[in-house]
Amino acid sequence: MSINNSPPTPTQLITSITKLLWGKSLPPQLLISTVRSAWSTAWHLMMSQLAPSDPSGSYTRPVSQFRNPNYQQLQPNSLHLYAALPCPWAHRTLIVRALKGLQDAIPVSIASPGLDGSWVFIDSPIPNGDTLILIPTRDKVNGAKTVREVYKSRREGYDGRCTVPMLWDVEKKEVVCNESYDIIELLNSGLNSVARNPDLDLSPPELKKQIDEWNTIIYPSINNGVYRCGFAQSQEAYDTAVNELFNALNIVDDHLKGSRYLCGDNLTLADVCLFTTLIRFDLVYNVMFKCTKKKVVEYPSLHGYMRDIYQIPDVAETCNLEAMMDGYYKFLFPLNPGNIRPVMPSGCDHHALSQTHNRESLSGSRQSVEVLV
């Protein structure tokens, strides 16, 4: 006979107390209503920090504090990129960095979500099998434990939101930029002297107007739209956001029936921005952010388009699907208090994303994809 002298866990203690008080019955209504009220108050408090909202309860994304880097004053060999695998905004920078062939010129440190909502650095062991896929790393240049420590190490200090992606000047110990679109524009056209694919232009002058027009649809209604659904703090705010989201997805899907990419035969920055939301949609947003009206796999054009981009050389290596799911389900506590991660949906794993898409039939040229990349 063995005796277990270890003290009970908090969960075991609470279970014992509830059995003693109520047996197999439900807790009394007063307790349920009290707990519900307390949880609702705590939830709104946490959401006010995680996802600031306007008076209507609609999520308002904070403005990035470091914008518009001066290309002429940058030293390419002094730049370092900070990113994170779950973050779609950081994912943009990883894709453009890969497509332009900047992996050697612009080193990257990849942070992981922390339990307190911050970004932290861990040195992950290289997994067996997919050794090319990006994984979390230590801070390779500053040796910091968190992204906040990097921001605060600026010569002038910093007390604001510490977000990724962030481009860092190693010599000046300064944040160059932490706005994702500014960074991908810089990676696309400002560092050709050190890029392996300098001739690849994801924002050519003749397509700039089209790219801007697509971005006015994609950013507010799709990229930010999924967050406006998930972070809505009123029914009215959610209803508005979800309707705008699926209206925009319908517009894009209809367009892609006759166009390989958003701007014709050429992959552009607009496609990169749309892709990083689509690749997370069925994995996370459909369930966790209540974007439940339809899945990407139910859109024939959008799903094929997503697979097409995923199969461009070097893109799949930036898509750590497991890390994407973990980053939301296991760390966004206000939206998933139990931290239980659902099984990966069918159609979302590497094998399914590698299936034939046949979208080359819509294009007369593989210029930007096969030849240059």
Which residues are known catalytic residues?
87, 227
Residue 253 in tokens: 């899907």
Q: In a 3-state reduction of DSSP, which class is residue 151?
A: helix
Q: What are phi and psi of 10, to 5 degrees?
A: -55, -40
DSSP conformational letter for 110: E
> Distance between CA 54 and CA 52 in Å, rounded?
7
Name residue 148's amino acid: R
What DSSP state is assigned to residue 14?
H
**CA–CA separation, 356 and 373 (whole Å):** 19
Query: Is 198 exposed, middle or buried, given 0-12, 13-18 or 19+ CB atoms closer than 10 A?
Result: middle
For residues 235 and 352, give the distance between their C-alpha atoms in angstroms, rounded to a whole number.
Answer: 35
Closest CA to 123 of 131, 112, 107, 133: 112
Chain centroid to Cα 65, Å, comes to 19
77 close to 247: Cβ distance less than 8 angstroms: no
Q: Which helix (H) or strand (E) holds 205?
A: none
Residue 141: Cβ-neighbour burial (10 angstroms; 0-12, 13-18, 19+): middle
